[in-house]
Amino acid sequence: MKWNDKNSFHIEPVQGLLNDPNGLIQFKGKYYFFHQWNRFDTDHTYKEWGLFTSTDLVNWENPGTAIVPDQKEDKDGIYSGSAVEKAGMLYVFYTGNTKENNVRKSAQKIAISSDGKTFVKKNQGIKTPEGFTEHHRDPKVWQSQGKWWMIVGAQTTQNVGAITLFVSLDLLHWEFQGTFYTDSALEQMCECPDVFSLTNDVDILTVCPQRRTSIEENDLSLSSYAGYLIGKIDYKKKKFVPESDILLLDYGFDFYAPQSFEDDKGRRIMVAWMSRMSELEEAQCPTTKSGYVHCLTMPRELKWLNNQLRQVPLEEYKQLRKEEQKYTSANAVIKNCQKAYEILIDLGDSTPTFYLTLNAGMNSLEYKKGLLQISRINWVSGKKEMKELALEELHSLQIFCDNSTVEFFINEGQYVFSMRSFCDSFSREITYQELGKKGSVVVYNY
Ligand code: FRU
């Protein structure tokens, strides 16, 4: 199947391979979403930072290349990182990656821009501290207590995932402060860490534990996922103090390397790479024949409600709503859907059972006996595959479908299931069954 049908409201590269979101920031009134990019091919052999910008987080411009690997310390890849603003200047932090004879070296690097277009790289790089391997990458920087802090994803020389901490007063000179967090649950390496406060009492540490079964660079059985811990940053002890185990950030098939930032409305917004594909799924992803692969998830606002993390679609998406259709019957077949649409389902107070199919059966949602099951048809195997969650109560659903993505927000963002999903037929038929008496289903074509 050749796939020429780009998504309409997800960030997707014009060509090549996109992975992690990087350097998310609102700078001089504009949102900047950088990302990992191989602009030459649909594989991981080259990495630079590409860029999308927006004033409303829904309509995007694509200036393209922002930072390229052109120095000794970053010649084999401008890897993931973050951005902050200081005195009207944009500072970006990324990992410069080199590989000589299959030996990896990492340095955390700095580049500065006054206009968000031209980036001047600083010569110095932060070296990997003792006790950690060269799997040391993905710096995330923030300001607190009158200082700048940086956490970096790491692997100890004992082969355990960890997060290192650095401090700076000027964003240029950084001092190692020790291990911010480590635990065997971080597996053998922790990629793309992020940490932020949601209330005065609640800090969230997001982590991507990566299981490595061999110390070889070409470990073929890598596996990883994105999770979070609830806890507190202890700035005196310079540690993250967890109050929970690692919880899943997203229950779907495709969500990895999330990053967050705060905008001028005080919202904490998170975006992720919409892929956790296997190598085979990536190579056979229907878009690769058209010369591009992967996209980012929709940005989501993070909130703390009833002692839980909520991920809520941004208000801004409401501007995409065009035709509205409303249904209140117990069962219905809805035929006139466009390729991009939103469904808002109010299940009344709560419902014991509910069944939904989307995109002419390509995706389904079933809720019965306290179990929620969401499926897609895998483009490699052609078979239905399922993700499930024990859920005491289901009372609302908000679902966003783009040409090849589906994001299910359950109970006002209590849980989210994100996935890529490719329909051969362009039928977008929706069916549902067993809607309760007080329930309603609203479909908006985009
Ligand atoms: C996560 C990751 C990061 C790294 C980047 C390279 O997907 O492996 O750890 O910086 O991708 O593209």
> Annotated active-site positions, please?
20
Nearest CA to ligand 1 atom 8: 191
- The number of beta carbons lying within 10 Å of the beta carbon of residue 419 is 25
Asked if the structure places residue 8 within a domain, the reply is: no
Do 150 and 237 have their domain in common? yes
Do 162 and 243 have their domain in common? yes
Asked if the structure places residue 4 within a domain, the reply is: no
As for how many domains the chain has, the answer is 2
Instruction: Give the residue from 210, 165, 167 showing the smallest Cα distance to 186.
Output: 210
- The number of beta carbons lying within 10 Å of the beta carbon of residue 378 is 15
Domain containing 274 equals 16-313
Do 161 and 237 have their domain in common? yes
Asked if the structure places residue 2 within a domain, the reply is: no
CA of 138 to the centre of ligand 1 (A): 7
Quick one: which atom of ligand 1 is closest to the CA of 192?
9
* pLDDT in single tens digits along all 446 residues of the chain: 556 689 999 999 999 999 999 999 999 999 999 999 999 999 999 999 999 999 999 999 999 999 999 999 999 999 999 999 999 999 999 999 999 998 999 999 999 999 999 999 999 899 999 999 999 999 999 999 999 999 999 999 999 999 999 999 999 999 999 999 999 999 999 999 999 999 999 999 999 999 987 666 666 567 899 999 999 999 999 999 999 999 999 999 999 999 999 999 999 999 999 999 999 999 999 999 999 999 999 999 999 999 999 999 999 999 999 999 999 999 999 998 888 999 999 998 778 999 999 999 999 999 999 999 999 999 999 999 999 999 999 999 999 999 999 999 999 999 999 999 998 766 899 999 999 999 999 999 99
Do 417 and 302 have their domain in common? no
Do 304 and 380 have their domain in common? no
Q: Is 245 left (phi over 0), alpha (psi -120 to 50) or beta?
A: beta
Asked if the structure places residue 11 within a domain, the reply is: no
Please, are residues 286 and 2 in contact by the beta-carbon 8 Å criterion?
A: yes
Verify whether ligand 1 is closer than 6 Å to residue 36 (CB atom): yes
Quick one: which atom of ligand 1 is closest to the CA of 20?
7
The residue whose two tokens read 């710096």 is 139
Do 284 and 358 have their domain in common? no
Verify whether ligand 1 is closer than 6 Å to residue 37 (CB atom): no
Please, are residues 189 and 154 in contact by the beta-carbon 8 Å criterion?
A: yes
0.95 surpassed by pTM: yes
Verify whether ligand 1 is closer than 6 Å to residue 47 (CB atom): yes
Identify the CATH number of the domain in which residue 368 sits: 2.60.120.560
DSSP 212: -
Asked if the structure places residue 76 within a domain, the reply is: yes
Do 177 and 53 have their domain in common? yes
The residue whose two tokens read 């995109």 is 359
Verify whether ligand 1 is closer than 6 Å to residue 73 (CB atom): no
CA 192/CA 258 separation, integer angstroms: 7
Do 80 and 193 have their domain in common? yes
The strand pair at 223-224 and 308-313 is best described as unpaired
